[in-house]
Amino acid sequence: MRLSEAINRLLKRIGLDREEKDMQLPAEFQKLIQMVEKTQEIEFSCDDVYYILDQYTEMVYQGENAEKIMPLVEHHIEICPDCREEFEALLRILQASPV
């Protein structure tokens, strides 16, 4: 069962129906649900990603298939806004550097 389905069941149990048009969960709660649903059995922490983010960014910059080579890094920056921001900053630096 997906997390969103479990939450819907729980809300119905306490008398709320998320599927009603006027029932909206706070955006932060919706984002948390989406992040939890995307978790995997094996994941990198921010420290793990920070250690190799420069290598990953260099691969992306050079047009290599970084997602296939480093799928755990790709997944982490997809769900972690802080690491995504760091990746994008590093990529901008590489793109702005003279060749």
For residue range 45-80, list pLDDT tens digits in order. Answer: 999 999 999 999 999 999 999 999 999 999 899 888
Q: 75: alpha, beta or left, given left = phi > 0 and alpha = psi -120 to 50?
A: alpha
Could you tell me which residue, 18 or 51, shows the higher pLDDT?
51
The pLDDT score that the predictor gives to residue 9 is 73
Instruction: Quickly tell me which residue has 């790709």 as its tokens.
Output: 74
Structure tokens at 25: 């969960």
Residue 96's identity, in one-letter code, is A
Residue 90 to residue 77: CA distance in whole angstroms:
13
Confidence of residue 18 (pLDDT cuts 50, 70, 90): low
